[in-house]
């Protein structure tokens, strides 16, 4: 008998989405929450409409590529609920991520378990919950699969690195193309179903041409696998698409579309998927942090003061992206100020000297209680944040304009056998309005509007 742990827990608690009044924008919403007096801790505003726009843009610009959102990038439940409702699929890396996604009613054929080195218990969990498609890049993985998940549909991950990327992933995963034929042969010997090839060119890829090289290499491996009798039908383009404000997927789309049309035309019958992470969420999240301390620093060489400011989120929280994601984070004042500029550094709330968020920036003199706003904070931030020294991970306030809310509300359930429907997701939103009416008061003109 299988232990209970193999039964994914379904979470029926759905998060509220706050509907904005016409004319209100994200910064207004941030001001309103910050000025409400009830939110002194750091917080995020999640612009749900931004995710909807990204999804539409993806479908328009990469029409042959089905997105499987990389949950690791940001597993916020509103993000997952909205993407599930929009019909996106999911790339999960662990049993907890699988459980979170299936808990929304997403059917398991909409999940790829794209971690090439999986723990046995996680493979067993995938088998028990019906997730069949998964990646590998080494022989030991195939032996494990043979033992505990012989029905798996395996995707061989190969290495093909962009010349420049924010985070190179090839250092950890991906079989070298020269080693791939042996791994294909092993799948054949073990009687494992090999269905495709995947790669990840590097997160924050800055060399779009790499996709052409990777797709062409994948084509060679499809041909090799065919000589052994494999009819592979899945090409997985991985992640690597930028998502910050002002960035564009156009250059990558141009190269990807040309390469798939050349090497995997529609007549090939090969399904093309990708695992975008930061593309979907980077620009959707704006973080607001509050200054709770200031120290003036003068030195004998420089009599002009500089200032150290202490804010309520740091590298052990959202700003872990400075270390792990090699991110560059820029702030602005929630309420701009006039006055001479001073050099300053910005520090997180913990007692650790490593907890520095900005080494040297220029600001007018700031006060305790001033708020700093950080855009493009959705990717690899809160997902990897901890609570070191007892500081909570910043709370998320999801917001949407009424037209976005109505658009989502009108979507039909998109997953086979699933239960995430517009009704399920948005009934909760209605209920939350009632709980959160404090934000809808006349003194907060940009806040919630109530729908009955």
* Residues 249, 242 contacting (CB under 8 angstroms): yes
The residue to which tokens 């052994």 are assigned: 228
- One of 34, 45, 70, 344 touching ligand PLP (CB under 6 A): 70
* Residues 218, 199 contacting (CB under 8 angstroms): yes
Measured CA to CA, the distance from residue 242 to residue 203 in angstroms comes to 8
- Cα Rg, the chain, nearest whole Å: 24
**Taking CB under 6 A as the criterion, which residues in 374-403 touch ligand PLP?**
none
- One of 49, 170, 277, 447 touching ligand PLP (CB under 6 A): 277
**Least distance to ligand PLP, CB of residue 193, Å:** 20
Measured CA to CA, the distance from residue 256 to residue 249 in angstroms comes to 10
Helix/strand/coil (H/E/C) assignment for every residue in 237-304: CCCCCCCCCCCCCHHHHHHHHHHHHHHCCHHHCCEEEECCCHHHHHHHEEEEEEEEEEEEECCCCCCC
Among the listed ranges 123-131, 277-285, 343-351, 392-400, the one in contact with ligand PLP (CB under 6 A) is 277-285
Among the listed ranges 222-230, 238-246, 294-302, 349-357, the one in contact with ligand PLP (CB under 6 A) is 238-246
H/E stretch holding 167 reads: strand 165-167
**278 binding ligand PLP? (CB under 6 A):** yes
Measured CA to CA, the distance from residue 288 to residue 265 in angstroms comes to 46
Which residue in 298, 267, 159, 270 sits closest to 217, CA to CA?
159
**203 binding ligand PLP? (CB under 6 A):** yes
Q: Which of 205, 351, 356, 446 is catalytic?
A: 351
* Opening angle at CA 136, ends 130 and 141, nearest 5: 85
* Residues 116, 141 contacting (CB under 8 angstroms): yes
H/E stretch holding 197 reads: strand 193-199
**275 binding ligand PLP? (CB under 6 A):** yes
Residue with smaller CB distance to ligand PLP, 217 or 404: 217
For this structure, is 205 an active site residue? no
**174 binding ligand PLP? (CB under 6 A):** no
- One of 196, 208, 240, 378 touching ligand PLP (CB under 6 A): 240
H/E stretch holding 50 reads: helix 48-61
Residue with smaller CB distance to ligand PLP, 325 or 370: 325
Residue with smaller CB distance to ligand PLP, 260 or 311: 260
Among the listed ranges 11-19, 276-284, 314-322, 415-423, the one in contact with ligand PLP (CB under 6 A) is 276-284
The residue to which tokens 């019906």 are assigned: 130
**311 binding ligand PLP? (CB under 6 A):** no
**Least distance to ligand PLP, CB of residue 114, Å:** 4
**Least distance to ligand PLP, CB of residue 420, Å:** 22
Measured CA to CA, the distance from residue 63 to residue 51 in angstroms comes to 17
Residue with smaller CB distance to ligand PLP, 240 or 398: 240
**208 binding ligand PLP? (CB under 6 A):** no
**256 binding ligand PLP? (CB under 6 A):** no
- Provide the 3-class DSSP secondary structure of residue 178: helix
**239 binding ligand PLP? (CB under 6 A):** yes
Q: What track of x and - describes contact with ligand PLP for positions 82 through 121 (by CB under 6 A)?
A: ---------x----------------------x-------
Residue with smaller CB distance to ligand PLP, 275 or 375: 275
For the chain, how many helices (H) and strands (E)? 13, 19
**276 binding ligand PLP? (CB under 6 A):** yes
**141 binding ligand PLP? (CB under 6 A):** no
Give the C-alpha distances (Å, rounded to integers) separating 436 from 27, 401, 419.
19, 16, 26
- One of 110, 144, 159, 200 touching ligand PLP (CB under 6 A): 200
Measured CA to CA, the distance from residue 4 to residue 147 in angstroms comes to 21
Which residue in 73, 123, 82, 120 sits closest to 104, CA to CA?
82
**285 binding ligand PLP? (CB under 6 A):** no
Residue with smaller CB distance to ligand PLP, 78 or 242: 242
Closest residue to ligand PLP in the complex (CB): 239
* Residues 234, 268 contacting (CB under 8 angstroms): no
DSSP category for residue 284:
G
Residue with smaller CB distance to ligand PLP, 96 or 308: 96
Return residues touching ligand PLP (CB under 6 A): 70, 72-73, 91, 114, 169, 200, 203, 238-241, 275-279
- Which residues are tagged catalytic? 351
């Amino acid at each position: 008998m299988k232990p209970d742990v193999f039964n994914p827990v379904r979470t029926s608690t759905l998060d509220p989405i706050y509907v904005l009044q016409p004319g209100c924008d994200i910064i207004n919403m941030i001001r309103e929450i910050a000025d409400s007096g009830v939110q002194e801790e750091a917080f995020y505003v999640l612009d749900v409409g931004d995710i909807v726009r990204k999804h539409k843009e993806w479908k328009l610009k990469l029409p042959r590529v089905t997105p499987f959102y990389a949950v690791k990038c940001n597993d916020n439940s509103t993000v997952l609920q909205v993407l599930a409702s929009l019909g996106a699929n999911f790339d999960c890396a662990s049993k907890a991520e699988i459980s979170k996604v299936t808990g929304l009613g997403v059917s398991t054929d909409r999940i790829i378990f794209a971690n090439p080195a999986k723990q046995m218990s996680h493979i067993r969990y995938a088998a028990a919950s019906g997730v069949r498609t998964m990646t590998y890049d080494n022989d030991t993985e195939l032996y494990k699969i043979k033992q505990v998940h012989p029905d798996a549909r395996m995707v061989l991950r190969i290495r093909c690195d962009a010349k420049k990327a924010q985070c190179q992933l090839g250092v950890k995963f991906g079989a070298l193309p020269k080693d791939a034929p042996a791994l294909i042969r092993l799948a054949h010997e073990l009687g494992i179903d090999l269905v495709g090839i995947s790669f990840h060119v590097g997160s924050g890829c800055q060399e779009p041409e790499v996709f052409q090289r990777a797709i062409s290499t994948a084509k060679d491996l499809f041909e090799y696998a065919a000589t052994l009798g494999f009819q592979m039908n899945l090409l997985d383009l991985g992640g690597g698409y930028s998502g910050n404000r002002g960035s564009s997927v156009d250059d990558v789309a141009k190269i990807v579309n040309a390469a798939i049309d050349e090497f995997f035309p529609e007549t090939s019958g090969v399904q093309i998927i990708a695992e975008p992470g930061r593309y979907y969420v980077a620009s959707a999240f704006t973080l607001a942090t509050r200054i709770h301390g200031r120290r003036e620093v003068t030195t004998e060489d420089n009599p002009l003061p500089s200032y150290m400011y202490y804010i309520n989120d740091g590298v052990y929280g959202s700003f872990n992206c400075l270390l792990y994601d090699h991110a560059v984070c820029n702030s602005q004042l929630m309420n701009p100020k006039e006055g001479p500029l001073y050099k300053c550094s910005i520090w997180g709330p913990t007692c650790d000297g490593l907890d520095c968020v900005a080494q040297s920036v220029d600001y007018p003199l700031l006060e305790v209680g001033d708020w700093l706003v950080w855009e493009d904070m959705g990717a690899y931030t809160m997902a990897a944040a901890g609570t070191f020294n007892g500081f909570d991970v910043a709370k998320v306030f999801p917001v949407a304009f009424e037209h976005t809310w109505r658009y989502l509300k009108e979507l039909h359930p998109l997953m086979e056998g699933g239960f995430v429907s517009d009704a399920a997701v948005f009934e909760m939103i209605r209920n939350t309005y009632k709980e959160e009416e404090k934000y809808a008061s006349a003194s907060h003109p940009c806040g919630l509007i109530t729908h009955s």
